[in-house]
Structure 1
């Protein structure tokens, strides 16, 4: 199905994921590729290039897909379900009459329609009865001016998506003027940078994170910490019995889990477990993004024959948004965490091999394909392989997310 693809979350007013916008590398301007282009792309795919189905990419959420007019004329692919796909159309370069015809055609097929930067002039009002959502680039528009023109959309029962929402202040302003959904990485930024100590309840978790970065650690001590916390014990057992992680054995005890996983996997899990408990008051997508980053960086590390004890590549991806989770400056956090120096350098914006992994995964997230190409050359890795590894990371992240959802007992640490 889809191999060369990225995704960006669209959050609702509660900062929960409403949908993902899908960005296609082999389409014009990240749009859905034409039939001819799709066939050419499929011929290029090798067996090691894992392709994803739509529900895997979007984690069973709605998918926003940008279409070019010529693709719509070929009819939408039969595999696209109108219940799950939102057809996104751009107003750039298309006359009103042409866009209106496209809206009517897509609407007859049962799809939800989102228009990118719909104008407020009177000639565009004839489109409103056929569209469901309007996306506004708030980085280029004055939000106050936008708010003065919201009434026509509200009256037409059109929902509003604020795009390029890059700070918490942007989110608050857009929310207050009446936007329904928000696209951008504002949620991955710290809300404030206070110079304050971490609460006592999180210090044990920080110690566990530090243990995951040590070349050796005391398994018995880790066992005692987890055994005395029902929330951590429950999550460990739920995690290790997730089919994404373990397809062969039913793990029934903490000791069994520790013996089954092995030292390196224990370290990864400890770091993951600690991060999950630190993120209890943050958007779940922030943790989800950290999971995908962790797995992707880990897979790159394997390809580059990077040593995995400690699992430094995994830790760099997993901890890459620790500042946003704890609302503290990353440099200050690195002074508190007993992580190895290479991990600290990469997380604080320094230059080393691990920072290249982080730069690469960020390029995938934003659909910056030119940067992906450049990074692939620097790392001397095939681009098709990188896309395959990113797809694998998405699948892993989706599976782990389900096993560490918020529906578990609260930690008592």
Structure 2
């Protein structure tokens, strides 16, 4: 299949389908960076407290990011993982190759990349989690769309119920704010140090991150299943024919999602169990509304989709690249700015990183078939070295 250049062609073509998937991935890269950069630039968010130096404006900026993107960005990525799974399955059928073994190799490679990412670059890695949950997705591949959606709803409801029960029982995630602030200061100082201290801080943070996956993991799986259902319905292959459904998703998703997000942000984000429960229920609505709006925009303004698609085609490389850029900017490995950039400035840094990635991705994909990380993962998956450089006569290949 051809890549992003097909977005402005009729929406029934395979090219357009891949273009929509990649453009959505390109957009999701920005959303995930806006959420992650607060954890990459300071040690306080990990401990669920504010930096004591933050003023009212700073906290407002943090609340805006919590409101609009926290617990939504990774759901969009997860949806695309599930949708892309159906494209890989179709590709295996066309090529008459055994899918399960190849996909398991892909997941093993993703897991290794995720572990290295968590230790060296960012403890908040999601790749290893995707690799584990991918095994569940593989087992669920024969589910009909309705069954997949029903399972996703039960998962979300179950997670929300457990969090609500914990809230009723008086569970508190930050029992002593003063101690948490001190821990945040120590984590920030570790990030400002050299690579050894940074790695030790990442390792020290991993157990708590694994605890957080008790919520994030099941929700990611639910989004996988929604993506599986959408892929089986080929929703992104013919977006125009689903225009009415997309508008309905927006009409429901924005009021429900934003209302829940407001309660989540005002209540203190992930530190408040009740707000977290509400967000678990409502975040999928807002993530779906974002995706619907983006897809409709891509049909009306195909140049936007064309601009974002190259970044989405090498999303793995860009995801890892974001963490590496932040390692250089914020830790003692590079400029050591951890804890020294206010939230508004941090957001501007995120926008600068993303803009650079969009430009570099467009340049790269005009010359190469895959991003560097995608090439490596593909080589491991297929047990052969793929051709990297494009030739004058070979079209760019891209798979979801």
Fold similarity call, TM over 0.5: no
**Higher RCO structure, 1 or 2 (CA under 8 Å, sep 6+):** 2
Mark the structure with the bigger radius of gyration. 1
TM-score range, shorter chain: under 0.3
TM-score, structure 2 as length reference: 0.23
**Which structure dedicates a bigger proportion of its chain to helix?**
2
When normalised by structure 1's length, the TM-score is 0.22
Higher strand share: 1
